[in-house]
Structure 1
Amino acid sequence: MSSVALKVVIQHRSEKLLLPSGIPSTVEELQKTVKDTFGLTETFTLEYLDVSWDYPIRDSKEQQELYRHQLIDEYKKKNSTAIRDLMCRTFAHRRHDIVRQQMSIKDVKERWPALFDASQVSAEFKLITTMKLEPKFMEMLDLYTPKLLSMFQSKRGAVGERHRAKMSALLQSGNPIQLTRGIVIKCLIDHLGEEPGALIKDVEDAAGVDVEEELSGELMTIYRLQTQESPAADVGIVIEGIPVLNNLGDISRACCYLLGLTYVFDLKYPKKFKYILEVFQKVLLGLDPQQLTPKVQTLKNCLLG
């Protein structure tokens, strides 16, 4: 019997383990064999079979496809409990589509419509990284905000003038935390030498405006729909010209979920946004923090100094 590779998940970490004797006839035997072979005393689960880790041991590709169709039915019914369960069950099938098949955002949206929701993006991100996306992002952004504001205030030249112009809105008392976060992020983008207006676009809610049509040529952008009643009637994300998330509330939350979506959809960072996305990933979330670019390393040193 040929050997097989297993993914064994042990208390939020995963290990790739070779089982020389192959797969036993039952899952119970398999669990005992893995436990005895590797001397595991901790609780563990068996998730994926084969070196590609494509599909759960308990399901075939065909079974996962049946689950996907069932998920679409439950999505149409807005059955949140069933959606959560089926999204978890079909994680491997979805990663196969996104990572191995490299499907477009349009195709992913057709096959996995339930994924295009902030709560599901958070759940997917946690399955990929074991990290809670929004709480960690906001915690670290708020932690670094005093030093960032001080850094922006002392910046000289035209960039410093732009920083101070943006920060003038913070001089008023009673500002919501969301406003502060949004201004900090915009100043940070500028500080890194990138263009805030290229990532965050304001769209006027004129008669007949269609966000999808208006932003159809955008590879990756955050939009803020402005009306006479509200400067942020809707805040959302467009990727590959497709609206991915909407009703996110504010710019900081949209930036948080944009970073999450790069993991969910296995996206490369666009060159014109590479530094701010690197900061979101490696400085705020602490994911793969090694080998920072010099610009981001300098920023991190200032924040930790």
Structure 2
Amino acid sequence: MYIKHLVTVGKHFTYGQLNRTISQFTYLGSDANNKPCEVKTNAEKLGGHAAQNWCLLRLFPILVGDRIKNPLDDEVWQLCLKLREIVDLICAPKIHTNQIAYLKILIEEYIQLRTATFPEKTLKPKHHYLVHYPELILQFGPLIRLWTLRFESKHSYFKQCARKLHNFKNLCSTLAERHQLLQAYLHAGNLFPPTLQMGQPIMDSIEKAIRTVLPQLDEAKLETLVNELVKVGVEGPDDLQFIQEDDIKHLLTPIQCRKIIHSLKGGEIMSVASSSTCPVSSISHISAWVNSFEVPWNKVRLTLRRAVDAGERPAPDDRRHLIKVTVDAMREHSLNPTRREYKNEEGELIGCGYFSIINQLKTRVEYLNRGNTLSRLRKHKRTQRDDEDGDDDQPAVTSCARIDSYGCVRWQPEDYPDGETSASLEEKKLEMMDIFSREGLKGTDRGRVKDLMAITYAKQREYINAKPSPSILDVGKEWPFLFSQKFLLSHFTTLTNVELYTRLNEDLDKKGKRLLDFFSSQITKWRKEVRAVLKEAIKKDREGSDGLAALLVMLAHFKEQEESLFLIADETTTPADAETQLSLPITPRIIMLGETILTAKKWMLSIEGRVVIPPGAHMADFTTALAALFACYYVFNLEYQVEASTTLEFVQRFLVRINPDSNKCTAKEQMSKTTGRVVKRKTSYMNPHVISFIRDFTEFYLQTG
């Protein structure tokens, strides 16, 4: 009622502005799980449950307070503030007796003001109950400890059981039994102790001891031998002296068996095992069979070979058979090959389908190893201390590259340009800062600035890559010209060797049109949210480019909100207005200036709650805006925000065509797209949703021509 009056009578804001503010507001803590629902036009009641409406009431002054024209004279606005204060006092976990007296006066004033402001709206019984709350607080303490919401939460378990059981005969007995079983489970703890497994260092010491006697023994046979020794009761190196030839003769040749028994009797193998502190690295053995491994084409089906020879895609059944045959051949060398052993030296390219095959191979290996725990044990990870204590001839383990260098070719140049030193580059930086202080972004047109930005690239990377990472505000102070579209994209090109704007300009609308055709030709296949966005995107009189429309469809397809990449503001909004009114998030956003995203004619770019690129001629088309948004992730070492990570990775791999074999979003938690709660995020080698969509899209166009 109050919101309707503020919108229709007071004209302080519109329903669209309110809903946009609600959706774009950054909620923290428990509020993130109870975001307010959208307020429907001219609705008499709010939607959502009690916790959501409570959240809306608490944050209402923050959401729309700056839009109220005369807050002190507006009686409806004062009613909202009084109601909010009353709810805060009633729901307070602790309250002073002085506050109880104040609460009583506040309730009386609220009811009188409501009656005077809305005489046609009669009071309800709950308003009468409200008058008695101060007395109840004096008798029983804070009322939040007595409220029924806790019981509603408990009751939700029984409602879920009733819905899922689909059995309404003697429902009370069924629910009581299920509840008792739940309580028994919660109080039982661990019903079964964890399975006892042999420690990896002991396994490695046994393996090394055998390797000293039989250095030429195949890796697979060695692993099988160790597993067999464990089965017969070997629990450590000391137990090897009790091994008999009959225990291992079915695994080794007679000569190999005699060598091991002879070494055991002489004590040689025992001394090696007892002195072992670090297992022998198996990298050399792995690389030996990997480099010489060949797919057993003689065992695959004839139909698959014909399809490969003809350059056609094999049938699914033939592809599955190929995976089985290949894994069987690989397991002759290693029972549990790792992902590193699946890859060739060229790495993984989405267009070639390597990633899909690797996933299928690994899934097959894990399926075959499902009942064999020992074959899944990993080798002992070498540490720096191991390398210092170990032999010099053992191969060193290559350390992983920094995750921030994701997809970059000139992450941090080791040397400065010829004739330059750190001091000389610092002087050039100060010269650019002086030019910017006098001319602002107009200085980007000067050839001197272009030369200085190119020469100081190594210095720029040195500053951006520093630990701890500088804030965007600090980067803007030190390197102000980086926040111009011209030099931002130039820096990206040097960093990744990709002409970003050229590539997007060539592919965005062309591939966007193909994406829209792909979705529209199968419109009944998609969820209603995708169909709703697609309906607007394929209108003949639609404004905006095909690339922008396709990007909105992809956001809906990946179940990501438009607000995760775009914010909407009035066309007259200035950067200062955006920073004060839009609640800009920390992660990058394109601020669309217009009524809708598709009809917007101007853009701004924000990072860390600040507008870093204002609207202007350099942002005249969406391609430039998307290029600036995407470039900032690489130039400033930013991870993709979780809420838009799938769409951004799709842009990266499908449009920009940067295909590293890793993921640029490493967040451990995310907001569930179904429940709205914060949940643990699954980390994957590459985003499976992106891979599967590109595969389906490619197959569709191969079939349809």
Report the TM-score, using the length of structure 1 for normalisation. Answer: 0.73
Q: Whole-Å Cα distance in 2 between the matches of residues 137 and 82 of structure 1?
A: 28
Q: Point out the structure with the larger strand share.
A: 1
Matched, 1:71 2:436: no
Provide the C-alpha distance between the structure 2 equivalents of 1:213 and 1:89, rounded to a whole number of angstroms: 37
CA contact (8 A) 2:567 2:591 kept: yes
Secondary structure in 1 matching 2:545: helix
SS of 1:100's equivalent in the other structure is coil
Q: For 1:252-271, what aligned pairs fall within 5 Å after superposition? A: 252-271=623-642
What runs of 5+ residues in structure 2 fail to find an aligned partner?
Answer: 1-409, 663-685, 700-705
Listed as ranges, the gaps of 5+ residues in structure 1 are: 1-47
Number of residue pairs matched by the alignment: 250
- Partners of 1:207 and 1:237 lie apart in 2 by 13
How far 1:225 sits from its partner (Å)?
1.9
Q: Give the partner amino acid of 1:97.
A: Y
Match of residue 226, structure 1, among 594, 601, 618: 594
Cα contact 2:511–2:547 (8 A) shared by 1: no
C-alpha spacing 1:210/1:96, structure 2 compared with 1 (3 Å): same
Query: Structure 1, residues 229-280: CA drift from partner, whole Å, max 9, x if none?
Result: x953530110101212233234443222211111111111111111111112
Instruction: Specify whether residues 207 and 279 from structure 1 end up closer, same or farther in structure 2 by C-alpha distance, changes over 3 A only.
Output: closer
For residues 124 and 150 of structure 1, the distance between their equivalents in structure 2, rounded to whole angstroms, comes to 35
Higher radius of gyration, 1 or 2: 2
1:121-270 equivalences in 2 (<5 Å): 121-153=488-520, 154=522, 155-169=525-539, 171-172=540-541, 178-205=544-571, 210-219=577-586, 220-226=588-594, 231-247=599-615, 248-270=619-641
Q: Any conservation in 2 of the 1:189–1:195 contact (CA below 8 Å)?
A: yes
1:293 matched to 2:654: no
Q: Which amino acid aligns with 1:180?
A: D
Cα distance in 1 for partners of 2:547, 2:623 equals 6
Q: In structure 1, how many angstroms separate the alpha carbons of the residues matched to 2:642 and 2:431?
A: 39
1 CA distance for matches of 2:644 and 2:546?
Answer: 21
With 187-196 and 289-298 compared, the bigger mean Cα shift is at 289-298
Percent identical residues: 24
**Separation in 2 of the partners of 1:264 and 1:207?**
27
Matched, 1:58 2:58: no
Q: CA deviation at 1:123?
A: 0.7
How large is the RMSD of aligned CA atoms in angstroms? 2.6
Asked if 2 retains the 8 angstrom alpha-carbon contact of 1:125 and 1:264, the reply is yes
Cα distance change of structure 1 residues 300 and 207 upon mapping to structure 2, 3 Å threshold:
closer
Structure having the larger proportion of residues in helix:
2
1:47-103 Cα offsets, whole Å, 9 max, x none, are: x9xx97264453222211111011122333425211100101111111111112421
Checking the alignment, whether the CA contact within 8 Å between 2:501 and 2:624 is kept in structure 1 is yes
For the Cα contact (< 8 Å) 2:566–2:589, is it kept in 1?
yes
Could you tell me the TM-score, scaled by structure 2's length?
0.33
Q: Does the CA-based 8 Å contact 1:218-1:240 persist in structure 2?
A: yes
For 2:653 and 2:532, locate their aligned partners in 1 and report how far apart those are by CA, in whole Å: 26
2:573 and 2:530 map into 1 onto residues whose CA distance is 37
Determine the structure 2 residue equivalent to 1:277.
648
- 1:119-148 Cα offsets, whole Å, 9 max, x none, are 111110111012111110232223322331
Cα separation, 2, equivalents of 1:281 and 1:207: 30
Where 1:182 maps in the other structure, the secondary structure is: helix
1:15-72 CA-to-partner distances (Å, cap 9, x unmatched) read: xxxxxxxxxxxxxxxxxxxxxxxxxxxxxxxxx9xx9726445322221111101112
Further displaced range: 284-293 or 260-269:
284-293
CA apart distance, 1:199 = 1.5
Residue 238 of structure 1 aligns to a residue whose secondary structure is strand
- Choose 151-160 or 188-197, whichever is displaced more: 151-160
Q: Are 1:152 and 1:163, in contact at CA under 8 Å, matched by a contact in 2?
A: no
